[in-house]
């Protein structure tokens, strides 16, 4: 079965700084990869997804992620973080009638 690891439980960045959230997956075939964001007490919203094609995918709110097969990674990036980006971020891997989420990374944005 597939699995997802998000190594960073909590990250703090200053507003305007760049951001990278790490995601590593384990899956035997080409995975379906997702990043979701969750504001406190809310459901999850899709930021972006990768199914095939260009390995650099653009999402909403200025986020992007790059699929690196050789590293089994799908890291999320944003060049300049805004205070409204403070939330919890989940990486997920799907395929083979299964979907696995990482434990999440909580992002705090300092003014």
Residue ranges in contact with other proteins by CB under 8 A: 9, 32, 34, 36, 41-46, 49, 51, 90, 92, 94-104
Dihedral angle, C-alpha 100, 59, 107, 20, nearest 10 ° = 90
Q: Please, which residue, 15 or 72, has the CB nearer to other proteins?
A: 72
Q: Using the 8-state DSSP alphabet, how is residue 84 labeled?
A: G
Query: What radius of gyration do the chain's Cα atoms show?
Result: 13
- Least Å distance between CB 19 and other proteins? 20
Give the other-Cβ count within 10 Å of 110's Cβ.
Answer: 12
- Least Å distance between CB 3 and other proteins? 11
- Least Å distance between CB 37 and other proteins? 11
Q: Name 97's Cβ contacts closer than 8 Å, sequence gap at least 6.
A: none
Q: Please, which residue, 18 or 96, has the CB nearer to other proteins?
A: 96
Q: Please, which residue, 22 or 101, has the CB nearer to other proteins?
A: 101
């Amino acid at each position: 079965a597939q699995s997802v690891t998000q190594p960073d439980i909590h990250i703090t960045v200053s507003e305007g700084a760049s951001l990278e959230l790490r995601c590593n997956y384990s899956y035997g075939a080409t995975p379906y990869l997702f990043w979701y964001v969750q504001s406190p007490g809310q459901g999850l919203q899709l930021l972006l997804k990768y199914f095939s094609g260009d390995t650099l995918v653009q999402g909403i709110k200025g986020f992007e992620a790059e699929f690196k097969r050789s590293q089994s990674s799908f890291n999320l990036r944003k060049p300049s973080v805004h205070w409204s980006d403070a939330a919890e971020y989940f990486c997920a891997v799907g395929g083979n009638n299964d979907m696995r989420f990482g434990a999440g990374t909580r992002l705090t944005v300092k003014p």
